[in-house]
């Protein structure tokens, strides 16, 4: 374990460009300097990656992003392979690259090549790099690569035991999950440390992130003349039943830490139809609505919280308003990354690396501040961190996405120093 102090290091003269930190070993200073040399090329690579459109459904685009990074990883002496998904899944597959070393901890580095949206090309304004996927998370893949390049240049990559996995469907995961995430589970089972490169929040890393799932609520009621609503014959109708249930979700579960329940779309009336994200409804104002459908999501910090919330939601549903019925169905969900002591110990190592670089402390990000991610599928298998990618960005999953291109170098450096220390 590397020594670290919070105090200013001794003013030791050093020969490495810009590194006068007594807290870095000579090899580490070489790694840090190598990252600096590679940074301009890394910025150019981000531009190329952003300019390949790769929303999840664009299988050829995702594959092209994979080819771009596969070539870079192969250049470092890593063995690369592509894992195809079945054609019917309509997902591009995953890129895996490994070193052949035998020293230190086995580290699995995770990223994703796909984006939610598409269409905004790379455009640089000072240190702001605009473009779809710049922040989420092509910037993160570049951080990962730059760290590995710096290690290779310093001659410490080949001996290490590092595996990179870039998935092609993080934003809209392919089903069945056993197929789309099976390879990741297999790699994680053979790893000691998991590192995710989703976008960073300045001065933090992620030791926990919430899982997410979706649900569909369908309510029914009697239909007839509107004047009879609330009566014993007609009861409350399907729309009041949906409203009752949603209000109870908010009241009874709305203040629990790290738990959120979001109704995202609702239809109701004499007729109500809904597919995954869109619906239609019709009804006259003088008719009691017999049908309503609500779709929404639920986010949670642990399997236990998810289970408990589902039970309480079902209990709320079961307390039907007069002459109504309702069913609540939960769909496949993205598991949470639950904060653990192992994750915290890893964070302490990253914090030490950052301080030793003179880049300041790294604290745990509030788990409520970020959504679900790939690392949740495997975080129960080994200690891990996420949020190690590019920083200072905004508007992920939204128009106007950007990242701070000046963050690539410091983020890559802290990762490279951490990897080097894990690899000893
Ligand atoms: Zn992402």
User: How far, in Å, from the CA of 334 to the mean position of ligand 1?
Assistant: 13
> What pLDDT does residue 22 have?
61
Say how far apart CA 197 and CA 214 lie, in whole Å. 25
The answer to whether residue 17 scores a pLDDT higher than 80 is: no
For residue 6, the CA-to-ligand 1 centroid distance in Å is 32
> Are residues 58 and 188 both part of a single domain?
yes
Q: How far is the CA of 136 from the centre of ligand 1 (A)?
A: 4
Cα(283) to centroid of ligand 1, in Å?
A: 41
Q: Evaluate if residue 2 carries a pLDDT over 50.
A: no
CA–centroid distance, residue 134 to ligand 1 (Å): 10
CA–CA gap between residue 399 and residue 409 (Å, rounded): 25
Distance 401 CA to ligand 1 centre (A): 12
- 235 and 171 within one domain: no
Q: Using CA atoms, how far apart are residues 15 and 85, in angstroms rounded to an integer? A: 49
d(CA 223, ligand 1 centre) in Å: 45
Ligand 1 centroid to Cα of residue 317, in Å, is 33
The CATH number of whichever domain residue 379 belongs to comes to 3.40.630.10
Query: Quick one: 43 and 145 in the same domain?
Result: yes
Q: Structural domain tally of the chain?
A: 2
Beta strand segments in 172-242, E: 193-196, 204-205, 211-221
State in Å: Cα 285 to ligand 1 middle.
Answer: 44
Output the CA 335–ligand 1 centroid distance in Å: 15
Q: Is residue 12 a part of any domain in this protein? A: no
Tokens 């460009």, residue located: 17
DSSP structural state of residue 210: -
> Is 55 a domain residue?
yes
Whole-prediction pTM: 0.83
DSSP labels, 79-133? EEEEEPPPGGG----EEEEE----EEEEEEEEEE--BSS-----EEETTEEESTT
Domain match, 204 and 238 both:
no
CA nearest to 371, candidates 262, 209, 213? 209
Same domain, 166 and 51: yes
List, for residues 327-336, the tens digit of each pLDDT value.
999 997 889 9
Q: What is the DSSP letter of 134?
A: I
Q: Separation of 383 CA from ligand 1 center, angstroms?
A: 20
Structure confidence by residue, pLDDT tens digits, 126-173 = 999 999 999 999 999 999 999 999 999 999 999 999 999 999 999 999
393 with 409, same domain: the answer is: yes
Does 309 lie in the same domain as 411?
no
In a domain, 415, yes or no: yes
In a domain, 2, yes or no: no
Mean pLDDT throughout 70-80? Answer: 98
Distances (CA, A) of 273 to 269, 276, 280, 386: 10, 10, 5, 39
Sheet strands (E) in 335-396: 363-364, 384-385
CA of 150 to the centre of ligand 1 (A): 24
Instruction: Establish if 239 belongs to a structural domain.
Output: yes
Q: Report the pLDDT averaged over residues 275-288.
A: 94
- pLDDT value at 8 more than 70: no
Q: Among the listed ranges 81-85, 244-248, 273-277, 346-350, which one has the minimum average pLDDT value?
A: 273-277
Q: Long-range contact list for 45-49, CB < 8 A, 24+ apart?
A: 45/72, 45/142, 45/145, 46/122, 46/129, 46/134, 46/138, 46/139, 46/142, 46/405, 46/408, 47/122, 47/124, 47/129, 49/133, 49/138, 49/141, 49/142
The DSSP symbol for 6 reads S
Are residue 204 and residue 255 in the same domain, yes or no?
no
In a domain, 46, yes or no: yes
Mean pLDDT of the 267-292 span: 96
| Residues within 5 Å of ion ligand 1, judged at the Cβ atom | 136-137, 198
Range of the domain at 247: 211-334
Distance CA 40, CA 409 (A): 9
Q: What is the pLDDT, as a whole number, of residue 370?
A: 79
pLDDT at 367: 87
Task: Compute the distance from residue 224 Cα to the ligand 1 centre, in Å.
Answer: 48
Predicted confidence (pLDDT) at residue 192 exceeds the cutoff of 60: yes
The answer on pLDDT for 301 being more than 60 is yes
Calpha distance 76→67 (Å, rounded): 15
In DSSP terms, 225 is beta-bridged to 287
Ligand 1 mean position, distance from CA 251 (Å): 31
Per-residue confidence (pLDDT) for residue 368, from 0 to 100: 83
Whether residue 361 sits in one domain with residue 328: no
In a domain? residue 241: yes
23 alpha carbon – ligand 1 mean position (Å): 33
Say which residue the tokens 């959120």 belong to: 260
Mean pLDDT score across all residues of the chain: 93
Q: What is the CA(113)–ligand 1 centre distance, in A?
A: 9
Cα–ligand 1 centroid distance for 196 (angstroms): 10
- Asked whether the predicted pLDDT for residue 371 surpasses 90, the reply is no
Name the packing angle between helices 59-75 and 139-153 (round to 10°).
20
* Boundary (domain end) residue, out of 301, 334, 367: 334
The share of the chain scoring above pLDDT 70, in percent, equals: 95
Spacing, Cα 253 to ligand 1 middle (Å): 27
What pLDDT, on a 0 to 100 scale, did the predictor assign at position 276?
A: 79
Distance CA 287, CA 274 (A): 20
The last residue of a domain, from among 334, 354, 388: 334
**What is the average pLDDT across 71-95?**
98
Q: State in Å: Cα 112 to ligand 1 middle.
A: 7
In the reported structure, the alpha carbon of residue 58 is separated from the centroid of ligand 1 by a whole-number distance in angstroms of: 16
Last residue of a domain, one of 275, 308, 334: 334
Clarify whether residues 418 and 357 are in a common domain. Answer: yes
Find the 305 Cα to ligand 1 centroid distance in Å: 23
CATH number of the CATH domain containing 241:
3.30.70.360
* Ligand 1 center–CA 348 separation, angstroms: 24
348 and 263 co-located in one domain: no
CA–centroid distance, residue 385 to ligand 1 (Å): 14
276 lies in the same domain as 395: no
Q: What is the pLDDT of residues 202-238, one digit of tens each?
A: 899 999 999 999 999 999 999 999 999 999 999 999 9
d(Cα 163, Cα 99) in Å, to the nearest integer? Answer: 7
Whether residue 21 lies inside any domain: the answer is no
Q: What per-residue confidence (pLDDT) applies to 332? A: 78
What token pair was written down for 263?
């109704």
């Amino acid at each position: 374990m590397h020594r670290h102090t919070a105090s200013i290091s001794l003013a030791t003269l050093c020969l490495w460009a810009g590194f006068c930190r007594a807290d870095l070993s000579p090899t580490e200073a070489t790694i840090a300097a190598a990252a600096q040399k590679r940074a301009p090329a890394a910025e150019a690579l981000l531009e190329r990656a952003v300019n390949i459109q790769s929303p999840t459904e664009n299988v050829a685009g995702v594959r092209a992003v994979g080819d771009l990074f596969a070539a870079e990883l192969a250049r470092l002496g890593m063995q690369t392979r592509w894992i195809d998904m079945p054609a019917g899944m309509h997902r591009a597959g995953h890129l895996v690259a490994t070193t052949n070393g035998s020293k230190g901890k086995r580290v699995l580095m995770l990223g994703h090549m796909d984006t939610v949206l598409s269409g905004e090309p790379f455009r640089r304004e000072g240190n702001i790099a605009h473009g779809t996927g710049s922040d989420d998370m092509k910037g993160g893949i570049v951080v990962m690569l730059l760290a590995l390049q710096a290690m290779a240049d310093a001659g410490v990559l080949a001996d290490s035991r590092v595996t990179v996995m870039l998935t092609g469907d993080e934003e809209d995961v392919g089903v069945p999950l056993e197929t789309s995430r099976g390879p990741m589970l297999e790699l994680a089972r053979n790893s000691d440390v998991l590192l995710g490169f989703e976008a960073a929040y300045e001065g933090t890393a992620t030791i926990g992130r919430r899982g997410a799932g979706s649900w569909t609520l369908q309510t029914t009621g009697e239909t007839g003349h509107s004047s009879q609503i609330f009566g014993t014959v007609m009861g409350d109708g399907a729309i009041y039943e949906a409203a009752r249930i949603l209000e109870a979700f908010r009241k009874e579960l709305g203040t629990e830490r790290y738990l959120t329940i979001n109704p995202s779309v609702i239809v109701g009336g004499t007729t109500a139809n809904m597919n995954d994200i869109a619906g239609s409804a019709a009804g006259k104002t003088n008719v009691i609505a017999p049908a309503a459908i609500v779709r929404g999501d639920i986010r949670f910090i642990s399997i236990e919280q998810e289970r408990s919330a589902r039970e309480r939601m079902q209990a709320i549903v079961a307390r039907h308003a007069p002459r109504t019925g309702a069913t609540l169905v939960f769909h496949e969900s993205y598991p949470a990354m639950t904060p653990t002591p192992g994750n915290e110990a890893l964070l302490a190592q990253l914090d030490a690396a950052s301080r030793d670089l003179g880049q300041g402390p790294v604290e745990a990000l509030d788990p409520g501040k970020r959504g679900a991610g790939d690392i949740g599928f495997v975080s129960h298998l080994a200690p891990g961190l996420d949020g190690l990618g590019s920083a200072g960005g905004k508007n992920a999953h939204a128009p106007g996405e950007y990242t701070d291109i000046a963050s690539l170098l410091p983020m890559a450096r802290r990762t490279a120093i951490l990897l080097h220390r894990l690899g000893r």
